[in-house]
Structure formats: C-alpha cells, structure tokens
Chain A
C-alpha cells in the first residue's frame, strides 16, 4: 500500500465521524522506484491532506517532508520546487507499507495490512 492510497482511506464503521487519517503501525516497509511525473503530482496535490501525509511518511521512517503544507502556487510553478516535488513523489508513490496495520483514530479498531493489501472489511456489528 502506497501512501497515496493511505491518504484516501478512512474508517467507515457505523457512527464513526472522524475516521481519517488512519494511524499506521508499520512492521515492514519497502521502497519501489517509480518514474517521476510532476504533472500527476500537481494533479493530486489539491486532493492530498498534507498533515496526514507527513504523519504517515514519518511512521514509515521518512521525515523529509516539510511540516506545513506547501503553497499551491509553489507546487504549480515548481521550477524552484523540484526537490519538494521529488520528496512528495517519494512519499506518495515510492514508499509501500507491506506489513502492518491501520488504526482508526476514533475507535482504535485495527485493520491489518498483509502483502501490501489493507483489509478494510468491517464486522457485521460495525456496519
């Protein structure tokens, strides 16, 4: 599971109002190189919850992202910000949570991640 996916996942147990972002408990993290594509990153940037990404990257051992969300215009005209985009690229697309768990911030319910696949299925009494 890449962090771009983590940024889109929330816990939807019935009654939970604050199921995002899921905390990450990492057991095994792998890195896979992906072609750098600024166009895609700019497209996704508006949709990314920055703080959730920073926190998630940190829990996978990557602490290079700036704490505060970069200015959207800085991302748009990213000649100076190539390095920032590269960091975003690495965090969003190259880091994989292979084994571990995602934890609902409200209920503490754990969703296992095995072989890179988060299992978000709910029990009957959670739907």
Chain B
C-alpha cells in the first residue's frame, strides 16, 4: 500500500475512470457466475471530501503515464474489461515498481492477458528504466489476444501475443526463462462445466472454489520461471490463498501479500511468489498449520490497514 493507504493514486484514477465508463455496463446474467462478475463491476463507494479529492486528482494526473490509459484499452463484448481485480493487480505492480526495476528482468510474461490492460501497464511501468525487456502475453480467447494487441498499439508499446491454453505451446522451450510472471486467472467459483467455455466466460469461470484454472497454472508457472523469477497472482479469499501459498511453498517458493482490497462482495488478494532456498529445507507437513496461522495474521494486518 502506498503512502496514501487505501486511496492509492492509481487505484483511484482507475476507479474514477471505471465509474465513468462502466456505470451503465450491464452484463446479461446468462450464468450464475455472471452475477458475481456484475458485482465486480459495481462502483466502489467513493469516500472523498473536496480537499482530499484535489490531492487525489494531482496524484492521478501524475500516474496516468505510468499505467495503461483506460480510454485507450481496446474492448469487445467477448473480452473481459479491466475492473477492480485488474486495477488491484496493476496497483501491486506499481507498489513493487522499484523492486521490479532493481530485479532487472529480461523477459516478462502474462498468462490470460484479456484486454491487455495489465501487460501494457507493466510495460509502461518498466519502460523508462528498462527499455529492452522482452514481453510475452497469452490468452485462450483469440478475440482477447487481438484486443490485447490493439491496446498495446494504442499505447505505442509492443509484446508478443500468442493464443494458447495457459502456455501449453511454450512450456517446453520457454522453461526457466521468465523473470516476471503476472496472472489474473479466472477465479470466480462456478460449476465445473463452465470452466474453459469459449469467449468471455473463460475470463472468470474458475470451477470449484475458483481453483480449477489456478491449480493448472501453478505448475506451469513453476516450470517457466527463471531461477530469480517472480510471480504475481490475483486471488479471492474464497480461493483459499493460504492453501495456494502452501502448494507453492512445497515447490520451494516464499510468498507475501502485496495488495489486499475488499469490494462489496469480494475480497481480493494479490500474492507475490519467489524462489526461496530456505523453503526447500523446511519440514513441510508439520509446519503447514503454523504457516496457515501466519498467513491469516498477515492478512488481518492488511485488512486493518485498509480500514484504518
């Protein structure tokens, strides 16, 4: 969380734009999960007094060049438009910007790039200090891949976009090469049969506990990440993020919460993972319980900060 706490600049920027643009976006509730999605798109309450608003406004105008401009993000009715989850992920990257620059990645990748808002923002965040990073983005929805390309072009930046399931056609040859991986997976708990449907449903339908796709993504990310690789993942509390951290821990990764944000009905948590030599030596079975406790402690401290 930045110095402005919950009223983090970029978030507010996007929030205002989001409200401006999406207030009247109505999605046909053609499946149970569409309801959850609609709730995501409902504007958060704006608690601003005029003085604070001026301050936010200043922050906002400074931030605009650092992340993708929502008005230049291309859209299509079959492609998920940036909303709270996308903004929370970009805020996590923004909060970690200095670390990312010092990390000096050669290759960054996003799995499930959707509208292209996140990968474009990542490029804009790093571009000035690290002009020669190579970027890759995948999506299982061919229209999303095309929309991502349009969003990149509208911002004058470039990334390689591939249409594939997770990263299946890249897994073999790209293994161990990705220094930064960013994933905003379909995490909404839905009936299993909705997972992997064509079009926009693939952007949110996450199956039981919203974990079907996440659980397939984790081993792929482990394979693709370089020795120094970092991994940012969007989750909900209903995805059991502590369990996700535990799964990754068994693969030798340490983790932390970068951003926590509550919307009206959902509680978003952006996790960051990195390879930690110490994690491999830990007695994994007996320490699971204390790990869970530790995770919930750090989560509650995040939530306290948000409401303070």
A residues at B contact (CB < 8 Å): 1-2, 4-5, 7-12, 20, 32, 35, 37, 39-40, 43-44, 47, 49, 115-122
How many angstroms from the CA of A117 to the CA of B139 in the assembled complex? Answer: 11
Asked whether A120 and B163 contact (CB < 8 A) given A12-B168, A39-B132, the answer is yes
A122 and B165 contact, CB distance less than 8 A: yes
How many angstroms from the CA of A43 to the CA of B171 in the assembled complex? Answer: 19
B86 to chain A minimum Cβ distance, whole angstroms, is 21
B67 sits at the interface (CB 8 A): no
B197 sits at the interface (CB 8 A): no
Choose from B146, B158, B162 the contact partner of A9 (Cβ within 8 Å): B162
A9 and B134 contact, CB distance less than 8 A: no
A8 and B173 contact, CB distance less than 8 A: yes
- Most B CB contacts (10 A, CB to CB) among A7, A32, A117 go to A117
B146 and A115 contact, CB distance less than 8 A: yes
Asked whether A118 and B136 contact (CB < 8 A) given A8-B170, A12-B171, A47-B177, the answer is no
B160 sits at the interface (CB 8 A): yes
Asked whether A117 and B173 contact (CB < 8 A) given A39-B132, A40-B132, A40-B134, the answer is no
B172 to chain A minimum Cβ distance, whole angstroms, is 5
B94 to chain A minimum Cβ distance, whole angstroms, is 25
Choose from B106, B145, B161, B162 the contact partner of A40 (Cβ within 8 Å): B106
B160 and A5 contact, CB distance less than 8 A: yes
B142 sits at the interface (CB 8 A): yes
- Most A CB contacts (10 A, CB to CB) among B106, B172, B173 go to B173
B172 contacts which chain A residues (CB < 8 A)?
10, 12, 20
B170 contacts which chain A residues (CB < 8 A)?
8-9
A39 to chain B minimum Cβ distance, whole angstroms, is 7
B136 contacts which chain A residues (CB < 8 A)?
5
B50 sits at the interface (CB 8 A): no
- Most A CB contacts (10 A, CB to CB) among B136, B160, B171 go to B160
**How many B residues are at the interface, by size bracket?**
20 to 34
Number of A-B contacts (CB under 8 A): 68
Minimum CB distance partner of B161 in chain A: A117
B160 and A4 contact, CB distance less than 8 A: yes
B169 sits at the interface (CB 8 A): yes
- Most B CB contacts (10 A, CB to CB) among A2, A5, A119 go to A5
Minimum CB distance partner of A102 in chain B: B169
B157 to chain A minimum Cβ distance, whole angstroms, is 12
B164 contacts which chain A residues (CB < 8 A)?
120-121
- Most B CB contacts (10 A, CB to CB) among A7, A115, A120, A122 go to A120
A118 contacts which chain B residues (CB < 8 A)?
162-163
A71 to chain B minimum Cβ distance, whole angstroms, is 22
B163 and A4 contact, CB distance less than 8 A: no
How many angstroms from the CA of A118 to the CA of B6 in the assembled complex? Answer: 40
B145 contacts which chain A residues (CB < 8 A)?
117, 119
A121 and B173 contact, CB distance less than 8 A: no
B82 to chain A minimum Cβ distance, whole angstroms, is 20
Minimum CB distance partner of A22 in chain B: B169
How many angstroms from the CA of A116 to the CA of B158 in the assembled complex? Answer: 12
A40 contacts which chain B residues (CB < 8 A)?
106, 132, 134
How many angstroms from the CA of A37 to the CA of B160 in the assembled complex? Answer: 17
Choose from A8, A121, A122 the contact partner of B142 (Cβ within 8 Å): A121
B287 to chain A minimum Cβ distance, whole angstroms, is 36
B156 sits at the interface (CB 8 A): no
Asked whether A120 and B160 contact (CB < 8 A) given A7-B173, A115-B149, the answer is no
Closest 7 CB pairs of A and B: A120-B169, A37-B132, A120-B164, A8-B173, A119-B163, A5-B160, A8-B174
Minimum CB distance partner of A118 in chain B: B162
B279 to chain A minimum Cβ distance, whole angstroms, is 26
Choose from B131, B149, B163, B171 the contact partner of A35 (Cβ within 8 Å): B131
